[in-house]
Amino acid sequence: MHTVYRITKKTKLLTHADSNYYRSYIVEEEGEHYSVHRPEEIIGRNCLSYKASLEGRLDVVKGILKSSTKLPVPIFPEYGIFLMPTASIRNPSCVWIAYHQVHHYETYKKGTYIHFYDGTGYFVNITEAAFDKQYKRTSQVIVHLNREKLFGYAESW
């Protein structure tokens, strides 16, 4: 039995691996890893290890964004770990980017190049406008989940 990769502040991204054996390709500050688990499985198990189900996290985000597509996932919101997808969860080209690792991003060829804080980067095959929308949606979720800390009051539902 393989242990599931633990998403931490050092995680930069997860995506599907182009392999017959490995299901995920993971990039973190220390390097690259592969996992036999699918990205969705890694994300779901990490949510559980941080005391919530993936479905529960997504339900909260749906309420905040009033949307049900390409939802960012608060993996461990208390420590600022949020992942944002570049495509639908079921799309094999989806890349899950760690919000806190993104320094800036720019158009590169027909996609977007993401610059991370450690000076590395990664190309994603979506437009800069689409990535910017995901980045801002994730920001919106972060503010809603931290409203009490930031402003002294919680939002009532």
4-8, 110-114, 133-137, 153-157 — which is least confidently predicted?
Answer: 153-157
Residues ≥6 apart with Cβ < 8 Å to 120: 12, 27
Q: pLDDT digit string (tens) for 26-78?
A: 999 999 999 999 999 999 999 999 889 999 999 999 999 999 999 999 999 98
Q: pLDDT digit string (tens) for 107-137?
A: 999 999 999 999 999 999 999 999 999 999 9
**φ, ψ of residue 72 in degrees (nearest 5):** -70, 155
Query: Are the beta carbons of 85 and 96 closer than 8 angstroms?
Result: yes
Give pTM, 2 decimals: 0.93
Per-residue confidence band for 2, with pLDDT thresholds at 50, 70 and 90: confident
Please give the pLDDT value at position 148: 84
